[in-house]
Chains A and B, each alone.
Chain A
Amino acid sequence: MSDHRPTGIKRWLYTTNHKDIGTMYLWFSFIMFLTGGAMAMVIRAELYQPGLQFVEPGFFNQMTTMHGLIMVFGAVMPSMVGLANWLIPMQIGAPDMALPRMNNWSFWILPFAFTLLLSSLFMEGGAPNFGWTFYAPLSTTYAPPSTDFFILGVHMMGISSIMGAINVIVTIFNMRAPGMTLMKMPLFVWTWLITAFLLIMVMPVLAGVVTMMLTDRHFGTAFFDAAGGGDPVMFQHIFWFFGHPEVYIMVLPAFGVVSEIIPAFSRKKLFGYSSMVYATASIALLSFIVWAHHMFAVGMPVAGELFFMIATMLIAVPTGVKVFNWIATMWQGSLTFETPMLFSIAFVILFTIGGFSGVMLAMAPVDFQYHDTYFVVAHFHYVLFPGAIFGTTAAVYYWFPKWTGKMYNETIGKWHFWLSMVFVNLTFFPMHFSGLAGMPRRIPDYNMMFADYNMWASIGAFGLGLTQVFFFVTIIMAIRNGKKADEKQWDGATGLEWDAMPTPAPYHSFSTPPKVD
């Protein structure tokens, strides 16, 4: 069967195929991951020992800012959209995404958005230097001229995300194979459906806040300037109303991924499917009423602090349900530990550790001691690196044979896992201690008492960085010279993509809808 597609560069520029677009998203996010990672290496090199050795404090701030922005908007979010593109049509029995031309556009915006953002590094006055949270007035009145490029870049990323989210929702609601009721959908599809709604709710809020910054900077408004009747704290309220759901946007699809992988390698059905769906939905709903736990030190009324403290602690309940369900899935299964399973198990353990520090941070009176220290840095890297990134990595290993018809080298995959596992902990665990000892975040230099932890974290970070290069080589090797994969590579895998589709997956997914019972 011919696929009627252009070849060469035109195939990628003009494509409306969900697999091609998914592939581009994944490669784009990997390039951004290495770019943001290189910035992390600069940060860790400077912090390897006390004193200013490599960079000026001003450039250090540009690195922390750009590292955060690129990892959040360039690496994690596009990687999740890439997985959605590849998997959702295959998992619900659809021929493609519902809005294929928009799909093309939502991807092709991203390289331009990130070119704008990255170009600011070469401008007079340097790149944005106010942290990825860009608190006003540091990001308005006191910001470098390149901030306008940042604002336009964020707008473009927002448009891309919203279009991606609309596409996911329309696809899931309209293109399921007959018999695929909502409560039969694979959990990855469910978590993405919920994520897509979060995106549509909060990306416009982000667009709003950067627009207010723009008018404060150039058109004489004073939204965030007390001298004109505005309020810098209002910036934080608006930002975190976007920002807190955003952290779940980054991790919910990874929940979906491990909910597919753990049952496959336990050779047992996912435990508590419906409670998984309800728990994901509760986490999403709660994420809208907890934003101010990022702001306990701004001087809120006690009643507000109490509300946000208690609401935040409640998130532990549905999150706990998910963790217990994953463990119950493994319980009395017939476990094997291939690379995707190893990454998924590490996800569960390390994400839970990040959850523990999350409960600690939620407790306002103690949060005054943790807030804006390395304890927070440790916390969110534990939920993002072994969370979002291990989740994506597990997904790539798990579906790689289905996508390409080739098999990666299992020994090398395990090496990748164990090196990542050791270095991720070596990098981020000591940050708990430097934070508790009193080291603030976003500082380029520090007192001797923080030196040991920083040295360990830097050594870990260099190892972790090299390990990702190793991942790149592994994937390239598998694409070029991988052994032919089995028709069904994982005996425990279930779902339409494994049971109703040949390997490798054909260019067009289901032309006629599969049968779902």
Chain B
Amino acid sequence: MAIRRKLIAGITSLLSLMLGGAVQAASKLNMRPGVTETSIEAFELHMMVVWVMVAISVVVFGVMIYSFIFHRRSKHPTPATFSHSTKMEVIWTVIPVIILVYLTIPAVSLLIKMEDASNSEISVQVTGSQWKWHYKYLEGDIIKNEISFYSNLSTPREQYENYATSGAADNVNYLLEVDNHLVIPVDTKVRFLVTADDVIHSWWVPELAVKKDAIPGFINETWTSVPIPGIYRGQCTELCGKDHGFMPVVVEVLTKPDFDKWLAGKAEEKRVADKAAADAASQNWDMAKLMTLGETIYASKCAACHQVNGEGLPPVFPALKDSAIAKGPADVHINMVVNGKQGTGMAAYGAQLTDAEMAAVITYERNAWGNNTGDTVQPADIQAFKAGN
């Protein structure tokens, strides 16, 4: 008796293990339902179509397989001679039409709902550029604080270049993590105004079922309202050049009090940063300090295109080593970094870096890799350049 009970218990636990595994596997095989009303409805519609398609396959492939088995020459040596049947042809034209109408009705109503961004409480401008996102809060008190920031991939380059040896496999958010999350409040209709600086990008967060192309010169509108606080991750989904695979989207949803705290913190952070930048800019920096900071900035902002060794990937991404600009007049060099170059991947860093950071990276470029101009560019030079513009 005891043995039998043990056996049954063993089998049951084995079965439940297998079932658990299957359920887990199934959740990995399918679309994630997500957390918003629209994402859940999209998921339900997806499941409805899947089951309709499965049902059709069973019937259609079933008939075919029946025919393979019972109408093969060895079983059915004399073929029938019919070659049309108006009745059948009408049936298999009408039935698909009915099925399609059945699928279209919920699709139409969901589409209309998803495209209605009216009555939003907060608007955020989302701007794609090669290869990062920029967020700017547009409404109410938020705009007074002028909260806007870039959101860059934070997975270290070391991890994707040396995946096996750098411990990247333990990083669950590998390539799906950024330095600054887009933060929005829970249960609030947030409108996103999506655009781009250079080429077309696409802003996608699967769990919110929001995907909208970011098109240079045009502004697209989309929205979400997230009922559950948490962190939701997505990626750019329109080929946008070399590092298309390296510009994730991360949205952090906070409770309303936490969001207010975050806003206040952001405003304070901006005040402190502005002051620090002003302090830094007022100092005269020595070469060593500029080079140290410059190297860090170069690695995070410039090396993706111009390469760590300064040799670039010509002709699209020119070399800085021995380049006319890096070894020529400082003003031209400053202009290139502050204003970028229209129509190329060279972005305008004027708003992305502080004056001190800019001075450091320019100094670095003018003295690294044997450029040895001996110039130092001071934060004051940058300020003077900007004032002159």
Any B CB within 8 A of the CB of A299: yes
Any A CB within 8 A of the CB of B200: yes
Any B CB within 8 A of the CB of A141: yes
Which residues of chain A come closer than 8 Å to B301, judged between CB atoms?
none
Inter-subunit contact B174/A448 (CB<8 Å): yes
Inter-subunit contact B163/A438 (CB<8 Å): no
Considering only residues 5-50 of chain B, those with a C-beta below 8 Å from chain A are: 28-32, 38-39, 41-42, 45-46, 49-50
Inter-subunit contact A371/B237 (CB<8 Å): yes
User: Residue of B at shortest CB range from A134?
Assistant: B239
- Contact partner of A51 (CB less than 8 A), chosen from B60, B168, B206, B241, is B168
Inter-subunit contact B64/A365 (CB<8 Å): no
Any B CB within 8 A of the CB of A447: yes
Any B CB within 8 A of the CB of A306: yes
What's the interface size class on B, roughly? 35 or more
B173 to chain A, nearest CB (A): 7
User: Residue of B at shortest CB range from A492?
Assistant: B79
Assembled-state Cα–Cα distance A144/B344 (Å)? 11
B326 to chain A, nearest CB (A): 20
Which residues of chain B come closer than 8 Å to A516, judged between CB atoms?
none
Inter-subunit contact B103/A363 (CB<8 Å): yes
Which residues of chain B come closer than 8 Å to A324, judged between CB atoms?
60, 88-89, 92
Binds A, one of B181-189, B289-297, B309-317, B358-366: B309-317
Inter-subunit contact B163/A51 (CB<8 Å): yes
Assembled-state Cα–Cα distance A138/B213 (Å)? 14
Inter-subunit contact B79/A349 (CB<8 Å): no
Inter-subunit contact B57/A131 (CB<8 Å): no
Considering only residues 368-388 of chain A, those with a C-beta below 8 Å from chain B are: 368-369, 371-373
Inter-subunit contact A137/B199 (CB<8 Å): yes
Binds A, one of B243-251, B262-270, B272-280, B368-376: B243-251
Binds A, one of B105-113, B120-128, B139-147: B105-113
Inter-subunit contact B115/A305 (CB<8 Å): yes
Any A CB within 8 A of the CB of B385: no
Which residues of chain B come closer than 8 Å to A321, judged between CB atoms?
89, 92-93
B377 to chain A, nearest CB (A): 29
Inter-subunit contact B103/A298 (CB<8 Å): no
- Contact partner of B172 (CB less than 8 A), chosen from A267, A302, A448, is A448
Given contacts A226-B217, A372-B202, contact A332 B79 (CB under 8 A): yes
Any A CB within 8 A of the CB of B71: yes
Assembled-state Cα–Cα distance A314/B104 (Å)? 11
Inter-subunit contact A52/B345 (CB<8 Å): no
B308 to chain A, nearest CB (A): 13
B323 to chain A, nearest CB (A): 16
Inter-subunit contact A349/B61 (CB<8 Å): yes
Any B CB within 8 A of the CB of A183: no
Any B CB within 8 A of the CB of A359: yes
- Residues 330-348 of A, flagged 1 when their CB comes within 8 A of B and 0 if not, give 1111111100000001001
Considering only residues 52-97 of chain A, those with a C-beta below 8 Å from chain B are: 52-53, 56-58, 61
Inter-subunit contact A138/B31 (CB<8 Å): no
Given contacts A138-B200, A445-B245, A447-B174, contact A232 B217 (CB under 8 A): yes
Number of A-B contacts (CB under 8 A): 295
Which residues of chain B come closer than 8 Å to A144, judged between CB atoms?
315-316
Assembled-state Cα–Cα distance A364/B109 (Å)? 11
Which residues of chain B come closer than 8 Å to A363, judged between CB atoms?
45, 49, 103-104, 107
Assembled-state Cα–Cα distance A430/B344 (Å)? 37
Inter-subunit contact B73/A336 (CB<8 Å): yes
Q: Among B68, B96, B240, which residue has the most Cβ atoms of chain A within 10 A?
A: B96
Which residues of chain A come closer than 8 Å to B108, judged between CB atoms?
306, 309
Inter-subunit contact A368/B88 (CB<8 Å): no
Given contacts A273-B83, A360-B53, contact A124 B314 (CB under 8 A): yes
Number of interface residues of A (CB under 8 A): 95
Inter-subunit contact A443/B245 (CB<8 Å): yes
Assembled-state Cα–Cα distance A124/B315 (Å)? 7
Inter-subunit contact B215/A299 (CB<8 Å): yes
Inter-subunit contact A317/B97 (CB<8 Å): yes
B368 to chain A, nearest CB (A): 22
Any B CB within 8 A of the CB of A440: yes
Inter-subunit contact A359/B49 (CB<8 Å): yes
Considering only residues 56-113 of chain B, those with a C-beta below 8 Å from chain A are: 56-57, 60-61, 63-64, 67-68, 71-73, 76-85, 88-89, 92-93, 96-97, 100, 103-104, 107-108, 110-112
Inter-subunit contact A299/B213 (CB<8 Å): yes
Which residues of chain B come closer than 8 Å to A137, judged between CB atoms?
198-200, 216
Inter-subunit contact B238/A333 (CB<8 Å): no
Considering only residues 144-187 of chain A, those with a C-beta below 8 Å from chain B are: 144-145
Considering only residues 187-227 of chain B, those with a C-beta below 8 Å from chain A are: 194, 198-200, 202, 204, 206, 209-213, 215-218, 220-221
Assembled-state Cα–Cα distance A438/B39 (Å)? 13
B358 to chain A, nearest CB (A): 24
Assembled-state Cα–Cα distance A170/B197 (Å)? 50
Inter-subunit contact B72/A335 (CB<8 Å): yes
Which residues of chain B come closer than 8 Å to A270, judged between CB atoms?
83
Inter-subunit contact B81/A268 (CB<8 Å): yes
Inter-subunit contact A145/B45 (CB<8 Å): no
A-B contact pairs, 25 of them (CB 8 A): A49-B163, A50-B169, A57-B244, A125-B314, A138-B200, A142-B343, A144-B315, A232-B216, A232-B217, A297-B202, A327-B63, A331-B67, A333-B67, A334-B77, A334-B78, A345-B64, A353-B57, A363-B45, A364-B111, A369-B46, A433-B30, A437-B31, A443-B244, A447-B176, A448-B174
Q: Apart from A138-B199, A334-B78, A365-B45, list 4 A-B contacts with CB within 8 A.
A: A61-B239, A232-B217, A317-B97, A356-B57
A-B pairs, top 4 by smallest CB distance, nearest first, are A226-B217, A51-B163, A443-B245, A299-B220
